[in-house]
Structure 1
Amino acid sequence: MLRTFRLTIGYDGFRYAGWQVQADLPTIQGELQRAFAELTGERVSITGSGRTDSGVHAIAQVASLTTDAWRSSDAALGRAINTKIPDDITVYRCEEMPVDFHALRDAVGKRYRYQMQIGGVRDAFDFRYFWHHHVQLDIEAMRQAAAMIVGTHDFACFQATGSERKTTVRTIHDLALTTGQGRAGQGHLIVEVEANGFLYNMVRNIVGSLVEVGRGKHPPAWIEELIAGRDRNQAGPTAPAHALFLLRVDYDVQPLAAPQSPR
């Protein structure tokens, strides 16, 4: 009997070439598919909610797989996969879903986090997860610019080439900037973005453009001009991948039973 499982996965993307399987390169999808094949002898495609790029991390990526080769519980599948994958990837939850559940097609929203360090010396433990800015940024100007991005717009100006979509219209529900401090008192700036969907490199391009405002290269109203102009070449640079985290993926489809932890 065919069964479909939803995996909620966390991973440190530092040493991986992104989510999607690539020849001769380590990827998250590749490690999960290898692990499942070792457990069952069956090679299946494990579908992610989207492709995270090389170096991008996930706190709660979601993936789905459909198989007739697993007879035990969903929690047992999560535990079994965890014994076969590297320590920097973890299946936090495994849930049996309706058989037609699809991690990509059924996603109705996502939330990302981007982390920056403002000033101070490089943190020996956090440098892999923060974009370090040696100059101060005007956070209030960045917040004003961010407010102009919230809503339903054509975000072609923030779409990188390489993954064209049928439409570049998306709805951003929330774009929040919060400040804090690191272990040695370094300034931290966290940008979180929630939307009904994202274009290729959209979050990193938004962050890169907000930083241009923060550095005083453009006023906050420049963001409105970018959106109206729909020209990626006029927007800011793409922020580095290593400071981006996929926080959450939302679905309307419910599991067949209460979620079970594989631990």
Structure 2
Amino acid sequence: MARRKSLAAQVLQVYQQRQKAKAAAAKRAEAEIARQARAAERDAAERARENARRDREAAQAWTRAQKEKQAQQSADSRRAEQIVRDLEKRDAARAKELEQKRRAEAREQATADRRAKQQAVEGMRREAAARTAEVEERLRVLASVLRSRPAGLHQLPLETERAFGQGDLEGFAVGVEEAPGPVDYAQGLGGTRRVAFAPEARELVVEVELPGQAVVPSVKQYWFRASAPPAVVPQPRKEAECRTLYRDLVPRLALRAIDEAFAVTPPTLVDGSRSTGRCVPRTGPLGRRSSRA
């Protein structure tokens, strides 16, 4: 009986050992599962941390990229603004330079205009003085007709006397007519002349072509008018003064013609000389026709 108990005890003990082994295996399986679960959790946590790190790095990279982009945009904007400011400064400097140049040119032009105006004024003043001097010189010439004595006629008396001695009265008259040829007359004063000789009366008749009243300057003087428009303005001579000057000129011309006739005529041939004048119709500066003298 003791032997059967021992066998049962052994079977029980084997059973119990098996149960313990199963329990230990189950416990080890549970522990393994728990370890694997913890490892999985650690892996998941690690992956989560890695993903989080990557997300943070991506976010930081994006932030840096945005900051760099903004910084680049700001730099580009500042450069663009600087370029615009530089262009505006250059345009302003160029405009200022052009304005200064325009003002300088305007000043130069104004100076040139003033100089040209002054020169024009001086030119007109000189012109007025010169034309007035011409008028005065003309009057002096008219007044000095008798003082301008004929010259170069000392050889002609021999020729006219030779023609008279040969009985060539026409040649004698022509010689007297042509005698004033070498004598210079002022413009408009030297007219043609005809000579006739009467040997019986020993009288020489000289017909002289007198100038018209137009030889007397119809302008008294010229003066500069400064009012706009500036001009050289003539001051007309009074008609009465023109007639007076012409009346004084006619006898001078007649006396000079007689003097020239006596200068070329031998004193033994002519006892007297008579001068007549005829005036050729001409239109003078005043628009009047010269009268017969």
Greater strand share, structure number = 1
Greater helix share, structure number = 2
TM over 0.5: no
If asked which structure has higher relative contact order (CA below 8 Å, sep 6+), I would say 1
**Larger Rg: 1 or 2?**
2
